[in-house]
Amino acid sequence: DAKTTQPTSMDCAEGRAANLPCNHSTISGNEYVYWYRQIHSQGPQYIIHGLKNNETNEMASLIITEDRKSSTLILPHATLRVTAVYYCTGGYGQNFVFGPGTRLSVLP
């Protein structure tokens, strides 16, 4: 699985877009980029994944650079409810390696 690096923490004002970066320079050609989040002690929650193209769903948008060495998760109009630890991971999905992630704090 690809090794990923993320900032330890980020703040975002409520109602603004949160942009969470991830570096995955060792990702191989067939590995997808997955994003998950963990709210408090709950189970990780799947957010979005992508291979090469940008992706959007009801939760977020994923922007992957053309060289696939990094990506950005965009949470539009962040609310207090999305305060969580966000994990970026790469792989084929059989055994995700979760790093420490980014602790996103949405501030009122």
Q: Which is nearer to another protein, 14 or 96 (CB)?
A: 96
Does 99 engage in binding with another protein (CB under 8 A)?
A: yes
**Does 100 help bind another protein (rule: CB under 8 A)?**
yes
Helix (H, G, I), strand (E, B) or coil at 81: helix
Ramachandran quadrant class, 66 (left: phi over 0; alpha: psi -120 to 50; beta: rest): alpha
**Per CB under 8 A, does 52 bind another protein?**
no
Cβ–Cβ contacts within 10 Å for residue 76, how many? 12
- The whole-angstrom separation of Cα 69 and Cα 62 is 13
Could you say whether residue 87 binds another protein (CB under 8 A)? Answer: yes
> Per rule CB under 8 A, is residue 30 in the interface with another protein?
yes
Q: Applying CB under 8 A, which residues contact another protein? A: 30, 32, 34, 38, 41-46, 49, 51, 87, 92-100
